[in-house]
Each structure stands twice: as structure tokens, then as C-alpha cells.
Amino acid sequence: MTYVTGMAVPVPAAKKAEYIAGSERSWPLFQRAGALEMKECWGTDVPEGVLTSFPMAVKKEPDEVVVLSWILWPGKAEAEACFAAMESDPAWAEVFAAGMPFDGKRMIHGGFEVVVSR
């Protein structure tokens, strides 16, 4: 059964190109691990909420944009193996050495079993 890992993260608007470059560097590694597709979505209409919202969830600052990302996997096992390999794979170390253009402490993420796909 297909599986999705997703995240929302606040990225400084001035670091959009840096964020995209990091995503481009990581895609071949996700693909090598079995990922079927990856989407990186730059927020253009992400309103503040009253009780909850994407901006509230990631504690977005005024100069930041909410980015919504997901990776489609053949199954949970492939996703888990990929994320476990990140700790020891030298190729991932190179990606991480370039730095992340966002505050990872404010990232929300999770894994989801696909129950409807059209």
C-alpha cells in the first residue's frame, strides 16, 4: 500500500532558491531509496487562522513562507529505510552539510497511509 511522508516548514522568503536547490539535491537520494515522487510546494495563499492554521503550526515569522512537501513511497518500509539511512549514508551527509535554509525545530512532519487515491 502506498505511503506518504509529509512536512510543513517555514522558510525565509529570501531563501527560496536555496530551499529549492536543497530539494533538488535530495531528490536523487529519495529516488534511489524507492520514492515514487516528491512535491515541494511554496505557499502563495496560506491564511492565518483563528484557532489553527499552517502559519500557526510552524510559528511562521513575517519574512517567512510556509512550504508544504510530500514524498510518495511504494510503502512504509521504503520510507522508514530511507530515513534510517540518513544517519549513516555519506551521500546524505553531503546534502546536510550544505545546510538547511529553515529552522527544523518548527517543521511538522509525519507519515500517512494512502486510503484514497484518484
Average of pLDDT values for 72-95?
94
| Residue ranges per structural domain of the chain | 3-113
The span from the CA of 113 to the CA of 94, in Å, is 30
End-to-end CA distance of the chain: 14
How high is the pLDDT of residue 96?
86
Q: Which fold has domain 3-113?
A: Alpha-Beta Plaits (3.30.70)
5 closest CA partner among 92, 68, 51, 95: 68
HSE-up (13 A, CA, CB side) for residue 34: 16
9 closest CA partner among 56, 66, 61: 66
Residues 10-22 pLDDT 10s: 999 999 999 999 9
95 closest CA partner among 18, 15, 12: 18
How high is the pLDDT of residue 82?
96
pTM of the entire structure? 0.92
